[in-house]
Amino acid sequence: MDRIRIRGGHPLVGEIAIGGAKNAALPVMACGLLTDDRLVLNNVPRLADIGTMKALIEQHGIAVERLDPLGRILSLGGQITNTEAPYDIVRKMRASVLVLGPLLARCGEARVSLPGGCAIGTRPVDMHLKGLEQMGATITLESGYIDARVQGRLRGADIVLPMPSVGATENLLMAASLADGITTLRNAAREPEIEDLAHCLISMGAKIEGIGTGELRIEGVKHLHGAEHSIIPDRIETGSYACAAAITGGRLLLRNARLDHLGAVARTLREAGVEIEEQDSGLLVSRRNGLHGVDVMTEPYPGFPTDMQAQYMVLMSVAEGASMVTETIFENRFMHVPELNRMGARINVHGASAIVRGVSQLSGAPVMATDLRASLSLILAGLAAEGETIVNRVYHLDRGYESVAEKLSACGADIERISG
């Protein structure tokens, strides 16, 4: 099993290209199920989760072709020949449930395994199912599968989400695009990835209003057509490498990064002492003075994202003073804390909050990654630590970060990936 070795203490200097957003690419790939025409996607990241979604869509009958040697341009097209999303594929990634809405809207039926993914919480799909039921679907759960059917077309409905769920918003947005009538999604998620999905659907002929707000109005159409769409840059990758620049006292140009997508991340990092400067080619991130503790609470966008919580906690572990990190999205997302404490961090968890008391120096140690974002947080800790850090179980990393060791090494980090 692969692991990553890091010898810390080297400021990162240089530039890192920010790739396409995984969490935008996955739902946009599911749009390929909404039309028989060709959908061409640019700026697709090369990640394990993209491969999983490719395999899932292909087994539904849609051809997915790579149009360039690096696989950053995908062409999707073909007719749906199978409406079952099997456990063997869906168990690898929670986003696989995003095929449910498109399959049901196109074919009137879908059988989708209950999803898997990182073990960071229950993340039920209740909101997806209740919304589809309001649109006329009949849904049963049996033997670990969601069985959904509708007579004729889905119908427009007024749907109020109990919380702004990203996945439920995406699934219902895609389904509503082909429904009969008008669907209103209230308390919808507002993440940039939702906006990206809506823009892709509009380019395919969908009629959507309220993009970027908590209320989406979708007027269903009978058919969607092919289109070409470019995936937005990954704001979580941007935030992660911004933390890398700050924790090492370095200076990184994050090429293609967008400040307007960072929301509370940029505000919080600046308050903690990180300098972020907009440039034509991206964001320049540096730290000239010391870091200091700033409390943070994870919230739906534009609040601080749960996907940045672990990385920010590492930054706070070497900041002056104390800070409190409160997790409100997932109930099991502090699994990286014992590993950070092995490296000399002083973090105490009390329920949904972690008290972080900054230390002057972390120490290298063998640690184990427990999920995708925890993997990157341990690498950040290794970059700042004295001595050698070995991060085990880095297969999680491949789901959401492309060529981490290569990108960091090119900027001066002493880091390598060890196979076997």
Starting at the edge strand found earlier in the chain, the sheet holding 3-7 runs: 366-368, 388-392, 3-7, 414-418
- Strand-pair category, 251-255 with 275-279: unpaired
Q: Which residue type occupies 284?
A: L
The question of whether 411 is a catalytic residue gets the answer no
The whole-angstrom distance between residue 348's C-alpha and the CA centroid of its chain comes to 27
Q: Which residue type occupies 337?
A: V
| Rg of the chain (C-alpha set) | 21
Give the position of tokens 């008290």. 355
Residue 151, classified by CB atoms within 10 Å of its CB into exposed (0-12), middle (13-18) or buried (19+), is exposed
Q: What is the per-residue burial (b if ≥16 Cβ within 10 Å, else e) of 228-239?
A: ebbbbbbbbbbb
Q: C-alpha dihedral over 374, 47, 192, 334, to 10 degrees?
A: -10
CA end-to-end distance (rounded Å), the chain: 5
Q: Is the four-CA dihedral 242, 92, 299, 256 of positive or negative sign?
A: positive
User: Is residue 110 classed as helix, strand or coil in its secondary structure?
Assistant: strand
Q: C-alpha dihedral over 201, 134, 166, 296, to 10 degrees?
A: 150
Question: Omega into 162 within 30° of 0, i.e. cis?
Answer: no
Identified catalytic residue from 31, 107, 118, 243: 118
Confirm if 328 and 354 have CB atoms less than 8 A apart. Answer: no
| Residues assigned a catalytic role | 118
